[in-house]
Amino acid sequence: MTFSRRSLLAGALGAGVLAATSGCSVASGLTTAGEPASTLQFWDLFGGGDGVRMQSMLDTYRNANPDITLKGTTFNWGNPYYTKLSLATVGNKPPDVAVAHLTRAKSMVEGGLLQELEPDVLARAGLTADKFNERAWNAGLVDGKAYAIPLDTHPFVMFYNTEICQKAGLLDADGVIKPLKGEAAFMDAMQKAKAASGGFAGAIALGSEVVTAWRAYQSLYAQLGGQMLADNGTKVVIDDAKALKTLTFLRNLTKSGLFPEKTDYQGSIADFSAGRTAFLFQGEWEITTFQTAKTPFSMAPFPHVFDEGPYAVQADSHTLVVPKSPKLTPDRLDRALQFIRSLLDQSKAWAEGGHVPSWLPFRDGPEFAALQPQAQYASAADSAAYDPEGWYSGSGSNFEIVTGSAVGATLAGLTEPQQALDDMRTNLENLAATASPI
């Protein structure tokens, strides 16, 4: 008996090779069979403010296209979503369009799950490479071919309390944070901020939510030019000296009392909202939280702390993909791409939630320039340090859990930097030695 890659994937997924599949019934995900030609199925993983914003964008499309029945479905973020999307595609019942993180989409391409989007087909919807952020577009290519259309880049950023930073003398004449370039300037600013706040200088979320710790580590490690994986995730290539420098720097932030050793995600948000910390290092999607709380704040790119080399910052991108399907005719593909174009044309609504738009007709225009504080950190998208390639890597993946857990333990004072490095390497080598299910 011969097996295709898709049938092997189906068996692997059915056996639970991919993590976090509990609660994801195969039957509940395969719901697109028998849909009329005028129906367009869209899957996403957005919750909170992003979810509300996306629903509004879908309604705009519905109002402009009353002859098309748009059915949007939202699933749980992370591994459960990608498992469900993979199973639906393997079962020949995928949605017409789906959201995928750029770092996850490339693994789906390797598994033969996504439709190649050829330049002439994209051009019919006005989707040409020159209209997208260059870093996001090029990072999503596989062997020079496009499979994923970037909607945004969401970098790790620095939130700062404007009142505390003004008191600490850290703002310029325009009320904007002065550059914190280099280790000395960063640490000096943190010392001044701690004194001005009466609490902590800043915070990085710890506890059970381990991905924030990974984002902080990757932002610094990438500035040193460090790499984690090679050969599509089959080799672990951590640079010990660069990793230890990064881990030691992070540990010193908490060991010195500048950052708290014990603060979970919600605690770090609450502390910044209440003015108990001057800085918060987190994803830009929390912008609406602090706007709602009326916190006096602004935002800037994550600082260039290790400034010996080029600037880099951890980031990912939400992309829009077309899963492979036997029902995908040229007309259905064109309809899918016109739908994608509709979402891109609504980049202002999406950017209001904090994400940096990849669609240059909006990002390079006056409306985005006037959108504050989003315009203050948009340049970070050009220096995005995406998670390394590998079947177990990407947003919300086992890779981020393993690395983030090790970094978080050091930040919390539970392990020393060397032990964190050893744990990280051991667990990554175990993942690298595991055959991809795709």
Q: What is the CATH number of the domain that holds 310?
A: 3.40.190.10
How would residue 79 be classed by pLDDT, with cut points 50, 70 and 90?
A: confident
Residue 8 included in any domain: no
Domain termination site, one of 329, 349, 370: 370
Amino acid at 57: M
Region for residue 281 given its phi and psi (left: phi exceeds 0; alpha: psi -120 to 50; beta: otherwise)? beta
Residue 211 included in any domain: yes
Instruction: Give yes or no: residues 273 and 326 share one domain.
Output: no
Instruction: Give yes or no: residues 148 and 160 share one domain.
Output: no
Instruction: Give yes or no: residues 164 and 223 share one domain.
Output: yes
According to DSSP, the β-strands at 384-385 and 313-316 are: parallel
How would residue 34 be classed by pLDDT, with cut points 50, 70 and 90?
A: low
Instruction: Give yes or no: residues 104 and 211 share one domain.
Output: no
Please tell me the distance from the alpha carbon of residue 342 to that of residue 64, in angstroms, as a whole number.
9
How would residue 36 be classed by pLDDT, with cut points 50, 70 and 90?
A: low
Task: Specify the pLDDT at position 259.
Answer: 98
Whether the per-residue pLDDT at 13 is higher than 50: the answer is no
- Summarised one tens digit per residue, pLDDT across range 238-254 is 999 999 999 999 999 99
Instruction: Give yes or no: residues 143 and 160 share one domain.
Output: no
Instruction: Give yes or no: residues 92 and 139 share one domain.
Output: yes
Specify the number of domains making up the chain.
2
Instruction: Give yes or no: residues 363 and 268 share one domain.
Output: no
Residue 17 included in any domain: no
Domain termination site, one of 348, 370, 392: 370
Task: Specify the pLDDT at position 35.
Answer: 60
Mean pLDDT for the chain overall: 92
Closest CA to 193 of 150, 222, 159, 151: 159
- Summarised one tens digit per residue, pLDDT across range 370-396 is 999 999 999 999 999 999 999 999 999
* DSSP type of residue 1: -
- Summarised one tens digit per residue, pLDDT across range 408-435 is 999 999 999 999 999 999 999 999 999 9
Please tell me the distance from the alpha carbon of residue 300 to that of residue 159, in angstroms, as a whole number.
7
Instruction: Give yes or no: residues 50 and 138 share one domain.
Output: yes
What is the 3 state secondary structure string of 202-220?
Answer: EECCCCCCCHHHHHHHHHH
Residue 97 included in any domain: yes
Tokens of 196: 């001005």
% of the chain residues with pLDDT over 70 = 91
Instruction: Give yes or no: residues 233 and 291 share one domain.
Output: yes
Average pLDDT over residues 168-178: 98
CB atoms near residue 76 (< 10 Å): 14
Domain that holds residue 332: 39-153+317-370
Total length of the chain: 438
Task: Specify the pLDDT at position 436.
Answer: 83
Residue 27 included in any domain: no
Say if CB 353 and CB 52 are below 8 A apart: no
Residue 2 included in any domain: no
Task: Specify the pLDDT at position 437.
Answer: 78
Residue 142 included in any domain: yes
DSSP 48-107: HHHHHHHHHHHHHHHHH-TTSEEEEEE--TTHHHHHHHHHHHHTT---SEEEEEHHHHHH
Task: Specify the pLDDT at position 10.
Answer: 37
Instruction: Give yes or no: residues 128 and 176 share one domain.
Output: no
Instruction: Give yes or no: residues 307 and 331 share one domain.
Output: no
Whether the per-residue pLDDT at 12 is higher than 60: the answer is no
Average pLDDT over residues 326-345: 98
Instruction: Give yes or no: residues 161 and 203 share one domain.
Output: yes
Domain termination site, one of 331, 349, 370: 370
Residue 33 included in any domain: no
Buried b (16+ CB within 10 A) or exposed e, 199-227: bbbbbbbbbeebbbbbbbbbbbbbbbebe
